[in-house]
Amino acid sequence: MVPRTSSRIPSLSRSALAATLLLLCFSSNLRSEQDKKHHHKQDVKKEVERLEQRWRTAQLAGDVATLDRMLADDFIGISMSGEVHTKAQQLDRIRSKRLVLTRIDLDDMKVKLVDSVAIVTSQALVEGTSEGTPVRGTYRYTRVYRQLPSGEWKITSFEATRIRPSRSATGKQAPAGTVVQEPQFG
Q: Is the pTM of this model over 0.75?
A: no
Q: What is the per-residue pLDDT for 121?
A: 98
Question: 111-127 burial, b if ≥16 CB within 10 A, otherwise e?
Answer: bebeeeebebebebebe
Give the mean model confidence (pLDDT) for residues 179-183. 48
Q: Which CATH architecture has domain 35-163?
A: Roll (3.10)
Flag whether pLDDT at 33 surpasses 70: no
* Residue pair 162/137 in contact by the 8 Å Cβ criterion: yes
* Residue pair 139/147 in contact by the 8 Å Cβ criterion: no
DSSP state of 178: -
pLDDT above 90: percentage of residues in the chain: 60
Q: What is the pLDDT of residues 70-96, one digit of tens each?
A: 999 999 999 877 889 999 999 999 999
- State how far the Cα of 113 lies from the Cα of 116, in Å rounded to an integer: 7
Locate all alpha helices (DSSP H) within the chain, ordered by sequence.
8-61, 64-70, 87-95
Helix (H) / strand (E) element for 71: namely strand 71-78
- Residues 43/73/52/78 CA torsion (nearest 10 deg): -130
For the chain, domain boundaries:
35-163
